[in-house]
Structure 1
Amino acid sequence: MKPSLQLRLSQQLALTPQLQQSIKLLQLSTLELNTEIERMLLENPLLERDGAEEGEDVAPMQDVPTAEAATAASELSDRHANGEEDFEPQTTVEMPDTITEAYDSVSDDDIGEAAEWRAEATGSGSGSNDSDDDSDFQEFQAASTSLRDHLEQQLALMPFSDRDRALIRLIIEALEDDGMLAQELEELLPLIPEEWEVELEELVTALRHVQHFDPVGIGARSLQECLLLQLKARDKSPTRDLAMGIVEHCLEQLAARDFVKIRRRLGCDDDGLRAAHELICSLNPHPGAQFAPLEARYIVPDVIVRKYRGAWTANLNPEAMPKLRIHRVYADILHQNRGISGSLSTQLQEAKWLIKNVQQRFDTILRVSQAIVERQRQFFDHGEVAMRPLTLREIAEELELHESTVSRVTTQKYLASTRGIYELKYFFGSHVSTDTGGACSATAIRALIRQMVAGEDGKKPLSDAKIAEMLGQQGIVVARRTIAKYRESLNIPPVSQRKTI
């Protein structure tokens, strides 16, 4: 064998840097896109935000350049290159006028939904016996005071000895974020210096002191103890005594809603059991959760859907779109020195690519969103029960895009409408065949299941087989196991746990 040279022709798909950047920007969420743009703004001096976005006055072209621009001009004047490259004095590159519509249709609804979500997250919704003022005070506490600080403040006002304070503080530090004590007291003994000679009984006493702190139920070692502490703090009444008996002896039967065994063991009637059950449901199983820090997740919708002249249309949200342009001073410098090449010329081209790719990203999002809205207009009129089955392939074939492109567009991109804010992925889902040869969306089936369970008789709740039978009467053929899977995805308990007295 001897070495030889051969020529072969082959075709390869090469991704240019511009195409790679376009794909990268397309799959980023709005927050990730802003982060990427901020990074590019720091690295590329030829790229800047449009001054109108931030309410700033943009310096006119004839103004004196900044010190940085003057330094760049001096640098360019001293450098020489052999090749020539034309640089257009592109002073402003803006997004199209078709996407500058004002965002004013859903702001009030979003504010109301955010207020409701915060009320539920802070525990000031249903099941609380406090007044509105107390709820507001709890929200203020949750935002400004941690659980341990709240307990330390109470400890500072009580006449304990230094030894007792140290033991109580040890118990406080061992509490979980929800106020429960997950560790055994025996496990805390090795944490105490041996010269203190602390006995287990002293730790038990310190725990009893903590359990008298606010909020009621703090320092409990189990759910049963937490509920009993809260019931003991209530005024004496037959209902409270029965509720304590249920928690102490029949908590497992209560969780399984086996009211027959509870009545047989405690010898109570339906009215008394119903009142005790309501009292237990009003208790807080996580008394320290109200002091947990709230992690607010902000979603900026990329698309806003409105109904105009009887038709649903999608429009880009200008609040989610960064407004970028080329730095005018640097553009003039490069235009005046056309024969000079270097890092600034490369950065100018990169800035142009970024502006073009950002614009293309939002154009693609708008196209896909409008196609989804046209397919799912019944959803915007009637809700989830009217959701149609839809796949990525259908949208890709309609818009002549690849499925992977549609998948990137619909991931972590959100749509705002009068029905709420949804991820674009929400409108795609599997389907179930019907008797007429059509198809029904899985989202619509879940909505039907939720409606059936909401309207069922609490004494005779619907089983999964019964729900499947009722759907079959409507022409939707669904197996019982599928019903169970959909029910679990909706966090609906099984029939045995939905029984009422």
Structure 2
Amino acid sequence: MKPGLSLRVSQHLSLTPQLQQSIQLLQLSTLELAQEVEQMLVDNPFLELDGDGPGTAAPDDIAAGARESNISDGYSSEKESERAQAASESIAEPSTNETPDSLNWEADGLDGQDGEWGGEASSEWDAPSASGSTRNRDDDEEVDAIDLARGHESLTDFLHRQALSLHLGAEDTAALRFLIESLNDDGYLEESLQELAHSLAGDDLEEREELEQRFAIALKLLQSLEPVGVGARNLAECLQLQLRDLIRDAEDEGTTAAHINQLLLAQSICAQPLDLLARRDLRKLASLCGAREEALREAMALIARLEPRPGRRFVDLERQIVVPDVIVRPVRSSSGRVDFSVQLNPDVMPRLRVHDIYANALRRHKNSEGHAALQQRLQEARWFIKNIQQRFDTIQRVSEAIVERQKNFFVHGELAMRPLVLRDIADALGLHESTISRVTTAKYMATPQGTFELKYFFGSGLGTETGGSASSTAVRALIKQFVDAEDPKKPLSDAKLADMLKEQGIECARRTVAKYREQLKIPTTTLRKAL
């Protein structure tokens, strides 16, 4: 093949750095945006927080829940001028190597208040799933959820504090602390004592055996602490630990023999394969435990009131905190019509501006060394401010469009949700579907019905007899309503639920009903059937 030169014209899409940054900021969550702003404030000397406007919130304040900013204290205007003059003369960026606050290496919460259980034990086998909504508090109950989470005691801190009262020797204390730190969030010890010993001693057989003995003693101590059931290796052991504690309390309090026998029967049930309990196989359990079915039902009802996840109440609340980006409030017009106002949450909007003193100093030294590089940083600061503003403007527009189309939901709830897809909002606002997808991901809206992710308001439609369509969200809500009202002794099957939906004019196949039921975490008819 003979080499040669040729010209070719082609088109390709090239994203400018400004556009790339705009796309990146658009898809960030509130806390991720706060971190990005904080990093930009450190990296770019021409960017600063504007503390004059209302609703100003520093990035640290957004992430940590604080309501006051101490960014601007400690500097007079004279010192600012001196810093700006020094920066302009040296054409060097300010140093950012500040010394962080001293770290507290002591165990947190050891001297705090006693951890409390927040409510009664769940009667469900599985922990209740985090719902898509969080009910709003009354206006007079202004409690900062993040401050609450920061003051919340973790399971490990709670156990470490109890361990201090045992007055153990140094080796036993170290073994107990190691087991506490090895627990998962539910309070279970997932690794065996042999595996834990091997992780510390390696191939030294003698040391491994000694560690296993230490861990065996420490495990008994751990399982004697509160919450009852902590340190269990599996669900069966967790339930048995709680039943053993109930039996001991019943004997100390002089409870009737019938109640103690019921507890002993429950303990015997938990000693059998748990799949029999999950399937509620009364015939097989009656044969294994030597008890009547009526007594088994009462014992199983007792087991259902136990806590399968002892560490549930100590879960890190900060992971579940949702800071709304948009706030929707009902507004009643003079004619009595209820409308809804859509406002951005001022607490999550960073107020940024270009540092005037540094920018003016740069203009006065146009011919100095490094001027071009600093001019680029100044332009980056202006782009960043513009992109931040554009991000919130887009969120506002998309939220208003959602509220306009789902107005019935804000009045009547899930059953009034309309079918809505990304294309509907994209066509209405003249934006691309990918932009709507970025805006609705990890952005939340506080409404009279609760706090929801913007994606929650989108859902496919199911055909109706009238030729219209019903939102999948509304159908799920209707299924939940049917199940809540069912007879516990005769739970509704998926086929029956599909027939009931058809009576409401909604065409929904049995397999679709099963899928929606699983999404709602509703058990099958066998597991829902009353004991």
What TM-score results when the alignment is normalised by the length of structure 2? 0.71
- Partner in structure 2 of residue 69 of structure 1: 84
Q: Which among 265, 268, 293 is matched to residue 292 of structure 2?
A: 268
Tell me which residue corresponds to 2:305: 282
Preserved contact between residue 85 and residue 361 of structure 2 (Cα < 8 Å): no
Q: Distance in 1 between matches of 2:85 and 2:35?
A: 29
CA distance in 1, matches of 2:473, 2:197: 54
Query: Do residues 224 (structure 1) and 218 (structure 2) align?
Result: no
Q: State the secondary structure of the residue aligned to 2:330.
A: strand
What code does the residue aligned with 2:121 have? G
Q: Map residues 139-288 of structure 1 onto 2, 5 A cutoff.
A: 142-143=153-154, 145-146=156-157, 149=160, 152-153=163-164, 155-156=166-167, 165=172, 169=176, 172=179, 176-177=183-184, 178-182=186-190, 194=206, 211-233=223-245, 234=247, 235-236=250-251, 237-238=257-258, 239-249=262-272, 251-259=274-282, 262=285, 266-268=290-292, 270=294, 272-287=295-310
- Would the alpha carbon gap of residues 31 and 142 (structure 1) be closer, same or farther in structure 2, given more than 3 Å must change? closer
Contact 1:174–1:183 under 8 Å retained in 2: no
Distance (whole Å) between structure 1 residues aligned to residue 81 and residue 487 of structure 2: 75
Secondary structure of residue in 2 paired with 1:366? helix
| Residue 356 (structure 2) aligns with | 328
Q: Which residue of 2 aligns with 1:21?
A: 21
Instruction: Say if 1:128 and 1:307 are closer, same or farther in 2 by CA, change over 3 A.
Output: closer
Give the distance between the partners of 2:280 and 2:221, measured in 1 at CA: 34
Shift of 1:442: 1.1
Cα distance in 1 for partners of 2:366, 2:215 equals: 82
- Offset at 1:58? 9.7
Residues 266, 473 of structure 1: alpha-carbon distance in 2 compared, 3 angstrom cutoff: farther
Cα distance in structure 2, aligned partners of 1:328 and 1:305: 36
Letter in 2 for 1:492: I
Q: Within 1, Cα distance between the matches of 2:155 and 2:503?
A: 55
Q: Deviations over 1:330-388 (max 9, x none)?
A: 23334555677523322222222222221111111111110011011111111111111
Asked which structure has the greater RCO (Cα within 8 Å, sep 6+), the reply is 1
Q: Note the aligned Cα RMSD (angstroms).
A: 4.0
Per-residue CA deviations over 1:79-113 (Å, capped at 9, x if unaligned) read: xxxxxxxxxxxxxxxxxxxxxxxxxxxxxxxxxxx
**Structure possessing the higher radius of gyration over alpha carbons:** 1
Report the more deviating stretch, 56-65 or 474-483.
56-65
Residue 434 (structure 1) shift: 1.3
Q: 2:167 corresponds to which letter in structure 1?
A: A
AA paired with 1:315? Answer: Q
Q: How does 1:115-130 map to 2 (within 5 A)?
A: 124-127=118-121
Contact 2:176 2:219 in 1 (8 A): no
Structure 2, unpaired ranges of 5+: 57-68, 92-114, 124-149, 252-256, 333-337
**1:346 and 2:376 are equivalent in the alignment:** yes
What is the TM-score when the length of structure 1 is the normalising length? 0.75
1:412-465 deviation digits (Å, cap 9, x = unpaired): 111111211111111112221112111111111111111111111110001111
Aligned to 2:110: none
Distance change (3 Å), C-alpha of 1:217 and 1:30 = closer
Aligned position for 2:469? 439
CA distance in 1, matches of 2:478, 2:350: 41
What letter corresponds to residue 465 of structure 1 in structure 2? A
Question: Structure 1, unaligned stretches of length 5 or more?
Answer: 77-120, 130-138
Q: Deviations over 1:384-428 (max 9, x none)?
A: 111111111111111111111111111111111121111111111
Q: Does 1:47 align with 2:47?
A: yes
Q: Distance in 2 between matches of 1:206 and 1:316?
A: 53
2:485 maps to 1:461:
no
Cα offsets for 1:246-268 (capped at 9, x unmatched): 33347433311344655676443
Secondary structure of 1:390's match? coil
- Residue range with higher mean Cα deviation, 370-379 or 169-178: 169-178
Q: 1:142 to 1:61 in 2, by over 3 A?
A: closer
In the alignment, is residue 494 of structure 1 matched against residue 493 of structure 2?
A: no
1:6–1:171 CA distance, 2 compared to 1 (3 A):
closer
> Bigger CA drift: 34-43 or 425-434?
34-43
Q: Which amino acid aligns with 2:356?
A: R
**Partners of 2:417 and 2:474 within 8 A in 1:** yes
Counterpart Cα distance in 2 of 1:196 and 1:33: 48
Question: In the superposition, relative to structure 1, how do residues 63 and 184 fare at CA in structure 2: closer, same or farther (>3 Å)?
Answer: closer
Q: Which amino acid aligns with 1:461?
A: P
Write the distance in 1 (CA, Å) between the matches of 2:86 and 2:119: 61
Looking at structure 1, the residues matched to 405 and 75 of structure 2 have their Cα atoms a distance apart, in angstroms, of 47
Residues 477/46 of structure 1: CA separation in 2 closer, same or farther (3 Å cut): same
